[in-house]
Structure 1
Amino acid sequence: MKKNWSNLSNSYKNSKIKVKLFITITLIMIVTLAFVLAGLQWSFALYDEQIYIKSSQVLIMSSNSIEEQLERVEEEVSFNIAMDPQIQRNLTELQGDVTGYDLYRIKREIVDELASYVGSEKYIQSIYLFDSDGREYLAGSSSEPMNEAKKYIYLQDASKLEGKNYWVIKDGSNRFLNSGRQIRSYENLNFENIGKLLIRVDLDKIVSDLPKINGEIAGNIVMSNGKDIFYSEKAIDDFKKFNFSAEEDEGYKIENIDGERYFVNHIKTSYEGWTYWSFIPFEPMFAKITAAKYLFIFLLMLMFVILISLGFNFSKRITNPIEDLVSACKHIQKGNFKIVDSLNPSLVYKDEVGILYRNFKTMVEQIEDLIEENYSKQLLIKETEFKALQAQINPHFLYNTLESINWQAKANQQQQISNMVEALGYLFRHSINFKEDIITVDRELEIVENYVTIQQYRFEERLIFHLDIPSEVMQCSIPKFTLQPLIENAIQHALEPAIESCVIKITAYQKKDRLFLRVEDNGPGIDPLLLEKLREGKIQTAGNGIGMKNIDERIKLSFGEKYGLRIENLSETGTAITIVLPFKRGV
């Protein structure tokens, strides 16, 4: 059992999130539904109990009303008749030999007296009086004399109780209940038996006059003595199979009697030890409640199905994008970055999962761009290295050739040619040296001076070159070939188009942690529109040399985005290019 539970637990843990959500929501709904149904059942049990309490109260009221009327018959009517002086006198006279008119007179007096009692009582149907000789005197709505068999049944206990009242009950559904009593003579207190009295009470009238609370909540009232029924408000045939033996004095239960359910309530009273029953048809009384109960259960089940469906759709809305991302990850792991094109962020919501979905696609696209960019850079590096290797093919041959030219110039006493060849050899050696990208300012100035030497032989007195560099900046770092291209641009744009002399000046100064190198010329300057495009890097300077954009990018790559070139026109005439570098000594 423990192993099976462990396997189920592991299966649940390793399931998809969609399955976990569905199982979790289903379990929550089942537990909730179980609690609701249990609460509903408990509520209906409380309702049944309240119905029992109410029906018990009605049954108690009914039994009290019935017994109140029966006690009145017993204590007022029956006792008063037995003690009635006229009745006592008439029955005493009948003890002797009475015949003829006297017998008729006495009989008429007794009947008239009995009729007076019947007329004043609503629930008495008939009164039977028997003298000591068994002669019958009848008053009431019954006109038929009592046959001997019934007389024997009704009056058999009269002598035993010696004047006390008793109730004669018969098995079955009887409309009438009979009160019997022996009449004894109280003249001279001799207590001689002078007759018997039987009062027939109409139970149907008593029950029909009972208050009906909440309609017919009392149901069918049945009275029993032990397990034997002696009265039923309605036909008793349907209840013949019911067990009327009550173990408790009061209680209730729901019984199925001949295919029909009844809410049965009973109470036993101290009066004569009778038990009162009420049979309330369950369906008519609880029809609406039962319909509401099953409707509520149906709605709960419908709600359960709807919520499960909504929960499943909700879980799909969460897990489907995640599953798409998992699938995309597997393709990306194999190098297929184009799979992100199938991801459509417009199909997902803007919740956390949607943000993850969109950010994942953006991240993969950026990674793909970076990979392509890095791949292109690697190709460029390889190509550059290949070209650099090609450029380094037998450099000694070129050096030796330049040395030969220089030796021949010196031999022919051509000092200018010798100086130019030496300067060119210096520039050549530094231009093909790829091992040093960052050099010191003083070495960069050597490159500039050698380049200017060559140009001064070309332009002679038209090129005026000045250096104003403090000694403290000479050991600061600078990318190689930063100043030389700027001097070349100044010669090309300021000196070559002009007839007059051109002054090119390089100055340097320190400001806090920055080094500023400034190249100025007194040329015509730069057109403002062209200057704006140069600042934005939209155009490259003319010529085959290193452009200003190249210089600016190399500075930024080497030291950061806050460094680089600044181009401006001077207030009067000319152009100034300022190089901003970190004040950093040493390479």
Structure 2
Amino acid sequence: MNKLYLKLYNSFLNFNLQKKIISITIFVAFLTLTASLLSFSVVQKANSRLLYKSLAGSLNSSAENISDTLKNLEALSKTITSNKSIRSGLISLVDEAYSPIHVKNVTNTINQQLTEAHKSIAEINYITLKNPYTVSTSYEPASSRINYEITNSVIEKSEKNAGYPSWVTDYCNTDGLFLVRNCIRIQTLNQENLGTLIINVNMDKLIQNSTDSILYNENVRYIVYQDNQLLYHTKNLSNDETLFLQKKLDADYKIIRLKHSDFFCVKGQIKSTGWNYICLVPYTEISQQLTLAVFTAFLFILFSVFLSLYLASKYVKRITEDFNVLMDKMKSFGSGNYNEENVNFDYSTRKDEIAILHHHFDDMTIQINNLIRENYLNELLKKDAQLRSLQSQVNPHFLYNALDSINWRAKAIGANVISSMIEALGILLRASMSQQKNLISIKEDLDVVHSYITIQKIRFDEERLCYKESLPEDIFIASIPKMSIQPLVDNAINYAMEYIIDQCVIEVSGYIKNDIIHILITNNGSQFEDDLLDKLRNGTVKAHGIGIGLLNIDQRIKLIFGNDFGLSLYNPDDDHATAELIFPRRTEC
């Protein structure tokens, strides 16, 4: 056994990753399916027991309904026989001299009382009160259908109970159930019968109303018996079937087959009378629904298992593809190809373990490539940097000298406008080409703006361009990346002048809040496109000219101060555009 286990285990270890994961998945799915079926079987049996008890309780409730109705009938009989108007009428017929008119009046009064009593219980066919002088009834058509001999037989049985109610069950299947009670008067210790009350009960209606709350009540079958003597059965049962059920049902409830159909049967006792009963409801449909539910649940579990296996195989295949790509990279790297491999999968946005492996391997490849190239390129880069440094020193020096010569010549001939323009241009060139430091004071950056405005006013005319500043004194000494404000002012002038013919107003304002500096460059006559910076970053709007300058300003602020700061572009209203610089207050320049 141990050898077989070791053999299987070693075979499993030699599987590739895809087969290992699929094997584990199948094994787990098999265990899950087995546990699900066993659990479902246990739950289904428990549910069946609860269903049987629930059905039995529901059927037993019908017997309680019957018992309550019979008690109500007995109470009604007592109410009728003790009714003052009925008793006084009956006594007058016995004590007074016979008079047809008086008999008729008493009969009408009793008929009216019986009719009202009849309405109180739905299962009553009719109520009759019979005495030697007259017969009163609540419903003549129903009472007239009863044979005279049956009525006399019922009356005879009432005489034995001396005013107590008696149930006559001999005619339940044909003429209904009878409740009889004598209305008596006691005089000088003697009982005198004033009349006999007969209440005829419709057994079919009594059973139907008592079983209304039962499931499938339209097919309910009922048997009432006492001491193995049949008292009543519903019309959908034969005498032979009733005898068979009385013998076959040996428990409080049981499933019994009749005429190729299953029935759930319950037996018990009607408490108010002591009669026994058997109640049957069709169980075939319930059984079919239970079977269908079990089969559906089994199919659902089976489908879930197969779907899980299918999805697992797809997912496992995807995982192993990632590992295969990593293996291919490693093989390529091992063969001497140190360049980063181009693959069809993008791992840049993923954060799972596989993506981490790819990221680390790619980083390792890049680092090794950098180390390999470093010895070859380092000296070339140093020499190129030295050459560029010399060029940046020679070229500005030549330009500054040339501009100074032009400025002196302009002053010599009295061309003050040209001289001012040359001085401003010199300041601009020194600020843009200086490589000594990245941070300058806001005042120094504004000096560059003033030189730029001087040139633009000469270019566009003083009346066409209006420049304003509104800045607190303590803001001027704070540090700012050089050439941050001038490109924004340039952008404001270019776009405003393009769209309006009226005066262009440029305002540079600012404030400090929570040690954060806000500098706002606002112009009239133009509007920024929505989300312009984002569109420039992702290439939706092609960056050129001032677009490159906007991105450059934002990136320089973020590089120096962090990603929480930078440039913001928005439109405060329909006629103005604002570029806002946001950065922390520092004085490191």
Give the TM-score, by structure 1 length. Answer: 0.41
Structure 1 or 2, whichever has the larger Rg, is 1
